Amino acid sequence: MKAGTFIRQFLAKDRRDVILRAPEWSDLDDMLEFINSLVEEGAEITVDTMMTREAEVDWLARYLSRVEKDEVVGVVAEADGRFVGQVQVSPKSGRSRHVGVLGIALRDGYRDVGIGTELMREAENQALRLGLELLTLEVYATNDRARHVYEKVGYREVGCVPGAALRDGEYIDSVIMVKEISK
Ligand SMILES: CC(C)(COP(=O)(O)OP(=O)(O)OC[C@H]1O[C@@H](n2cnc3c(N)ncnc32)[C@H](O)[C@@H]1OP(=O)(O)O)[C@@H](O)C(=O)NCCC(=O)NCCS
């Protein structure tokens, strides 16, 4: 999908207009601030070190190139004229090329108004377009909100990796969830 392609628009539960679109180069500074704000707040994601602008430039260049070639799904949520979060689905390789690994996060201040649910639904549409059949994700067992959203849109828990993450000196289990999307 071409960078910046408009996908659709909806009204969030707080009446804010939200646009779903493909990522684009001008998201760079918002994305950098976003990832570092997640690290700062101690969000329940894997990344726990601040990203430099240089590293983000490299990452975004590679990411946009893969999105444009439909090698990966990338859907951005835009509200108040800025990037506020995104979902990504990265296909696995070889015999697992029909499997996509999903990751999602939203900026603090834009959560709990339905944007994550819409991003999850759009990720599925786009994954189907890429020919994927099964989506998988990992979520920390302590992340009740994320688990609720995933279950709501049809993911089921299939396993758990005990002590998969170490956060503030405490081990946290990682729950594996899947959704078949080809039927
Ligand atoms: C997880 C995340 C993507 C969800 O997106 P979101 O836009 O906040 O979610 P939505 O507003 O669409 O839905 C939230 C739902 O969770 C529910 N919820 C909120 N807090 C909850 C909690 N502590 N326990 C259970 N459910 C909770 C809400 O009531 C709502 O349920 P409903 O749709 O049935 O009414 C977002 O909160 C986020 O980015 N969090 C920080 C980063 C993160 O955790 N990423 C996921 C890593 S696996």
Helix, strand, coil in percent for the chain, rounding step 5 = 35, 35, 30
Q: Does 156 map to a domain?
A: no
**Residue numbers of the domain that contains 76:** 6-138
Question: What is the rounded average pLDDT for all residues in the chain?
Answer: 97
Nearest to 123 by CA among 169, 74, 179, 173: 74
- Pocket mutation for ligand 1, best pick of 86, 145, 177 (most atoms within 8 Å of C-beta): 145
Q: Does 172 map to a domain?
A: no
Q: Does 159 map to a domain?
A: no
Q: What is the pLDDT of residue 183?
A: 59
Tens of pLDDT, residues 44-59: 999 999 999 999 999 9
Q: Does 183 map to a domain?
A: no
Q: Does 51 map to a domain?
A: yes
pLDDT band per the 50, 70, 90 thresholds, residue 22? very high
Q: Find the CATH number of the domain harbouring 108.
A: 3.40.630.30
pLDDT band per the 50, 70, 90 thresholds, residue 150? very high
CA nearest ligand 1 atom 16, residue: 145
Q: How many whole angstroms separate alpha carbon 78 and alpha carbon 17?
A: 8
Q: Indicate the pTM of the whole model.
A: 0.97
Minimum-distance ligand 1 atom for the alpha carbon of 107: 39
Tens of pLDDT, residues 72-131: 999 999 999 999 999 999 999 999 999 999 999 999 999 999 999 999 999 999 999 999
- Number of separate domains in the chain: 1
Q: Does 115 map to a domain?
A: yes
What's the one-letter identity of residue 55? Answer: A
User: Which protein residues touch ligand 1 with a CB less than 6 Å away?
Assistant: 43-45, 104-106, 111-117, 139, 143-146, 148-149, 152
CA of 95 to the centre of ligand 1 (A): 33
Q: Does 167 map to a domain?
A: no
Q: Does 37 map to a domain?
A: yes
